[in-house]
Structure 1
Amino acid sequence: MSLMHRLNSLPRRRLLQVLGAGAVLAPLGACSENLATGRRQLVLVSDEMLAQLSHQAWLDLQAQTPRVEDERIQQRLGAIGRAIADASGLTNVNWEFVAFESAEVNAFVLPGGKVGFFRGLIDLAASDGEIAAVMGHEIGHVAARHAAERLSQQLAVSVGVRAAQVLLSEEMGEHADEAAAALGLGLMYGVVLPYSRQHELEADRLGVDVMRSAGYAPADAVSFWRRMSADNAAQPLAWLSTHPTNEERLVALEQLAGPVR
């Protein structure tokens, strides 16, 4: 039975007692300092649990999206990935690097070290260094444990909204659901999305550090994102987005690596 199902099944008074005592979240995890980012983060789930959850997603993606058949591309991506992974110092991760046949200009990493690059991004990159910049960014997410932190934040938000709904129902009756939904949106835009943007900038910073350690030029990260900016002019409003704007990202990267002339 899931945590949220257990919470929903508790009597109202007992739920408030449990939440008030902190008995729901405390046994699952705690705030701890992440050495990669230098800040404390709330982690309620283990890396092992996340790896198990991502395993099926990885299998599903490979079943739905064909791999690039050109083995030279697969070998190139794997060589860059292994160089960046070795430089990251993350020795307890079972890394796998796959190029997928899709025109989408994107890449991703799943907990457990499964890294996917779409053909569109590989074709857009002008050099191995630019691919290394993206690879460093993705591996930076793993070093920073961003997936565990995001899932933990969402779990905490869900628990908090459920508790608020119980409290509001005594005061607002039939309007409690609407009030709880508004609270949930406020938490999403005020907490979860800003943290996501912070994660992206942290991954950029860690990516620049690790690509430098692997022997790639950090300036390649700037040139890649300049190319991305020119290719992807339409962006959502920054406060509605899970990612920083291209301009914000470029300013941060130029401070880390120096501007590309």
Structure 2
Amino acid sequence: MSFLRRNIKHGIAAVMLMCALCGCATMYNPATGRKEFIFINDETEIAMGRNVVRQIAKEKPLWRNSAAQSRVESVGRRIAEVSDRSELNYEFYILDDKELNAMALPGGFVYINRGLLTLVTDDELAFILGHEVGHVAARHSVKKLQSAMGFQLLLTLAFSFAGEKNAQAAGNIAQASDMAYNLISLGYSRQDEYAADTLGVKYASLAGFNPKAAIAALQKIKKAESQSGKVPIYLRSHPYIDDRIKALEKEKSL
């Protein structure tokens, strides 16, 4: 690519970014019911999520249990089909970890630990997976990442949108993936957790599960906390559980 053509593409990307930052590239998010600034497109979001999947595969073993995997995929597919981002190809994984935890990565990659899976019923599982799918549908990790990335990294990602596919672009996506993983590990805001709970109830109900199991699921996790004497990972990454239970008790659909 000539220097002039490259500069033109970079200039176009910069204009795209500036327009977005000025509110010219907003999109309607059905999961939140609002118009939002989403600069990271689906292709890049999925690529970032896939990078994190590879990273997790190096660090944490999967639970190789065909019956359990079939159970999670069966419930998860039903949730995904009624979600506000049903077009994504969701993937569901079980980590061989006794800790009570679940999480979702950008692009629709959902994890649940063996410890949490074996604790809950299918209706409760539907809420937990619905909660995680809710984070994906509402693009919580994407919006959190956009806030943390800074102008320069957003600009370099914009170059990829303009058609520049090279090692530098791949490196930028990898850098963003690492940042996304770290941000997810730190947990979401109170507002995001409440929103994901509401979506979890909605998706569980639409998929034919008992939405009242949402409260039972959180109460089980809270009970496990008191019995173990330590705070489960789920409560460290999904805080405010008492407030979340109270909020769910006010849900008209329950």
Deviation for aligned residue 1:118? 0.7
The residue that corresponds to 1:213 in the other structure is: 206
Q: Which of 55, 63, 67 matches 1:72?
A: 67
Instruction: Give the 3 Å change call, closer, same or farther, for CA 108–149 of structure 1 in structure 2.
Output: same
Q: Spell out, residue by residue over 1:186-238, the C-alpha distance to the aligned partner (whole angstroms, 9 max, x if none).
A: xxxxxxx9972211111110110010000111110000101111222566xxx
Which whole-Å CA distance do the structure 1 matches of 2:71 and 2:200 have between them? 19
Deviation for aligned residue 1:60? 2.0
Q: Spell out, residue by residue over 1:76-134, the C-alpha distance to the aligned partner (whole angstroms, 9 max, x if none).
A: 11100001111215332111111111112111111121111110111221x10111110
1:227-238 aligned within 5 A: 227-233=220-226
Aligned with 1:97: secondary structure?
A: strand
Instruction: Give the 3 Å change call, closer, same or farther, for CA 195–42 of structure 1 in structure 2.
Output: farther
Structure showing greater radius of gyration is 1
Which whole-Å CA distance do the structure 2 matches of 1:225 and 1:132 have between them? 12
The residue that corresponds to 2:190 in the other structure is: 197
Aligned with 2:127: secondary structure?
A: helix
Determine whether 1:46 maps to 2:41: yes
Compute the TM-score of the two structures, normalised by the length of structure 2: 0.69
Q: Which of 95, 115, 120 matches 2:110?
A: 115
Kept after mapping to 2: 8 A contact 1:42/1:153: no
The residue that corresponds to 2:161 in the other structure is: none
Instruction: Give the 3 Å change call, closer, same or farther, for CA 157–195 of structure 1 in structure 2.
Output: farther
Determine whether 1:26 maps to 2:3: no
Higher relative contact order (CA 8 A, sep 6+): 2
The residue that corresponds to 2:138 in the other structure is: 144
The aligned length equals 200
Deviation for aligned residue 1:47? 2.5
**Which stretch has the larger CA shift, 45-54 or 66-75?**
45-54
The residue that corresponds to 1:131 in the other structure is: 125
Which whole-Å CA distance do the structure 2 matches of 1:194 and 1:72 have between them? 30
Q: Which of 145, 148, 152 matches 1:154?
A: 148
Structure 2 residues without counterparts, runs of 5 or longer:
1-13, 154-185
Kept after mapping to 1: 8 A contact 2:134/2:199: yes
Which whole-Å CA distance do the structure 2 matches of 1:205 and 1:57 have between them? 26
Runs ≥4 residues deviating over 6 A: none
What residue identity is the alignment partner of 2:133?
A: I
Compute the TM-score of the two structures, normalised by the length of structure 1: 0.68
Instruction: Give the 3 Å change call, closer, same or farther, for CA 249–199 of structure 1 in structure 2.
Output: same
Structure 1 residues without counterparts, runs of 5 or longer:
1-21, 160-192, 236-240
Deviation for aligned residue 1:156? 5.2
Aligned with 1:37: secondary structure?
A: coil
The percent of aligned pairs where both chains have the same amino acid is 33
Which whole-Å CA distance do the structure 2 matches of 1:252 and 1:199 have between them? 13
Kept after mapping to 2: 8 A contact 1:219/1:257: no
Say what the alpha-carbon RMSD is for the aligned residues: 2.9
Which whole-Å CA distance do the structure 2 matches of 1:71 and 1:107 have between them? 19
Q: Which of 99, 102, 124 matches 1:104?
A: 99
Which whole-Å CA distance do the structure 2 matches of 1:121 and 1:204 have between them? 17
**Which stretch has the larger CA shift, 73-82 or 41-50?**
41-50
What residue identity is the alignment partner of 2:139?
A: R
Kept after mapping to 2: 8 A contact 1:222/1:257: no
